[in-house]
Structure 1
Amino acid sequence: MKKRSLTKSTCKNIHKFASSKNDSTVIVESGLEFDACFHFEFSNNVKFFESQPLGFEYYYLNKWRRYTPDFLVHFTDNTKRYFEVKPLNKTLSPEFQSKFNAIQRQSNEIQLELITEPVIRKLPLIQNLKLLHKYSELEPNTMIMEKIRWLKPGEKVSIMHISRTLCMELYTIIPHILKLVGMHQFNIEMSKPFSGESKIWRLL
């Protein structure tokens, strides 16, 4: 089966995601798929990911049909998983569920998982992920980065504490902290909006 290629002629809503993890631009065909990229990009468990991977055929309603997953994600434990991205309201009909079950049965050794809008766009997680992506392109001040790295591995402190310790304003230090988080050198609380109260800790 030929791999599907997204172009302006095949899709009206092309989105381009700049991925440092992949060292490439990931092309997707919806805003929801674009937002899913932020989760893959900053998951410590994901090695790399690809959109519109080579698909496969499945049998449904007495006919063989073609299916292309939205993503193939390669994990750090060397496993792989297909992902189908859909708005929740499009997954509730018996017809969709019957069809998707048929596709899952045919996906062979690679598991196919459905992820929907409430998971992908959960707040404030998606906003935080987008901030990490924004500051991943930051040209850092080396001196500031080195000063932040004085934290001992595993020691949790607030961004405000670091700001006061280094005698730097929050607006100066937060972009550098998010840059380090995006580089997987530090971790940060993701369940609340980023602020001076957010706790960060250095990874081993």
Structure 2
Amino acid sequence: ADNVAGGLNSPEAYADFAEQCLEIGYKGFKIHSWGAEAGANIKREIDTVHAVGSRVGAKMALMIDPCCVYDTFADTLAVGRACDEENFFWYEDPLRDSGVSQYAHKQLKKMIKTPLLQGEHLHLVEAHTDMAIAEATDFWRADPEYDGGITGVMKVAHAAEGFGMDLELHIAGPAQRHCMAAMRNSNFYEMGLVHPKLSNIVNP
């Protein structure tokens, strides 16, 4: 989300950009919205989920990633229920205070139907495995920069595979492509922080 003229500055702008991405061939679209940066305007978060869902939800997989910035469990639950209504593919890293609570996310999983994806704020195979054992996530997330390089990511990938779960790689890059090519259990290659009016700030 931003304040760039013609950029991602409203729920409708997100829907327009999702439609543009669909037209050029993307199979999925992930919302990186305002989160708590603009005073935790949860209504705007929910409006964005509905705007994108109503525009392209039947045509591509939809995800939302608040980057762990929602302030309360109630806000997190409200956005999750909006994701349910729009049949989102996953709800990523919604809530964190001083750490990522396994208990809170296990409770959230019981109260919404949209799968959770956790892991950007967890590091190395033990933390990822503990989250799965606690039944607090549905998808795993790993990154070569955060999780011990290619070797560390592959450990996480094989652990996820042992649980019968999928691992999604964080952001784009050569190491991520190598890992994804060596994995069976992954769905999307993440093009990070793309924007309708600005050059991609992360090389694909």
> Greater strand percent: which structure?
1
Instruction: Check whether TM > 0.5.
Output: no
Structure showing greater radius of gyration is: 1
> Greater helix percent: which structure?
2
How does the TM-score come out when normalised to structure 2?
Answer: 0.26
